[in-house]
Amino acid sequence: MTTVNALSEIAALIGDPARTAMLQLLMDGRAHTASDLAHTAGVTAQTASGHLSRMVEANLLAARAEGRNRFYRLASPDVAQVMESLMTLAGMRAGPASRTAAWRRDPDLRFCRTCYDHLAGQVGIAVTDSLTQHGHLEPKGPRDWTLTNSGELFCERLGVDLDGAKKAESRHFARQCLDWSERRPHISGSLGAAIADTFFKRGWAERLRRSRTVRLTDSGRRALGSHFGASV
């Protein structure tokens, strides 16, 4: 059972503005250098090093060394899900007017972004809605999805690596992840990651440097219509 002290320690780590900024950048699912994270948080390299060490010790981040650089990424999809849930709560606290203003400031982030290793925003919701409306995906309890037989055939035709997704250990296959901007669940887990990977490999979507924002290409917009029967 999680103790009150352990819970408060994790909350305090995430709650620091500099560390929150670093965690938000790492929500793009990629590994970033300490200098990138320091720049994002607006702190010195020495201060960033202290923040990063504490988050590694708390299993919020994982680190690896490559040459002179040290790269950091989220330790697990669970950390990403916590961050996405906190963003949802923060948006609810801000009120409708503030949320709308925030979306106007960064409409691209709302349109399509990565939530760790899967698609989120309007595109992520469009993909999820299409899968559920066509009977490929069905709710399984309050937090998961079930991929139906027709869903397996659909994913195989699309080129989604289902075998790899099913073999992924220590994570859920098809998870419901509450989308902070759309207020509805999109698909995460190893299946969500495999679908996002298909979008990137087929050139339907492109990651932007130093951002969670994802650009949907012209072929991606056509694919949404032809394969998913969706438009955004």
% of the chain residues with pLDDT over 90 = 62
Q: Which of 28, 45, 75 is the last residue of a domain?
A: 75
**Average model confidence (pLDDT) for the chain?**
89
β-strand pairing of 185-188 with 205-207: unpaired
Higher pLDDT, 116 or 37: 37
Band of pLDDT at residue 95, cut at 50, 70 and 90? low
Q: Is the pLDDT of residue 135 over 70?
A: yes
Please check whether residues 85 and 196 belong to one and the same domain: yes
User: In three state form, how does the secondary structure of 180-208 look?
Assistant: CCCCCEEEEHHHHHHHHHHHHHCCCEEEC
- For residues 105 and 207, membership in a common domain is answered with yes
* CA 125, 161, 204, 81 torsion-angle sign: positive
Dist CA 195 CA 120 (whole Å) = 12
Same-domain check for residues 150 and 198: yes
Average pLDDT over residues 23-28: 89
User: Is residue 44 located within the same domain as residue 130?
Assistant: no
Which residue, 20, 53, 75, sits at the end of a domain?
75
Give pLDDT, residue 105: 57
> DSSP letter string over 69-115?
EEEEEES-HHHHHHHHHHHHHHHHHH-HHHHHHHHHH-HHHHHSEEE
Residue 60: domain span: 4-75
Mean pLDDT to the nearest integer, 72-83: 88
The residue from 30, 47, 75 where one domain ends is 75
Q: For residues 87 and 144, state if they share a domain.
A: yes
Q: Is the pLDDT of residue 184 over 80?
A: yes
Q: What is the predicted pLDDT for the residue at 101?
A: 43
Confidence band of 100 (pLDDT split at 50, 70, 90): very low
When comparing pLDDT for 57 and 170, which is higher?
57
181 and 203 inside one domain: yes
Please check whether residues 212 and 142 belong to one and the same domain. Answer: yes
CATH number at residue 64: 1.10.10.10
| pLDDT at residue 214 tops 90 | yes
Domain count, the chain: 2
pLDDT on residue 73 = 92
Evaluate if pTM is beyond 0.85. no
- Does residue 182 share a domain with residue 198? yes
Residue 1 pLDDT more than 60? no
Relative to beta strand 144-147, strand 137-140 is antiparallel
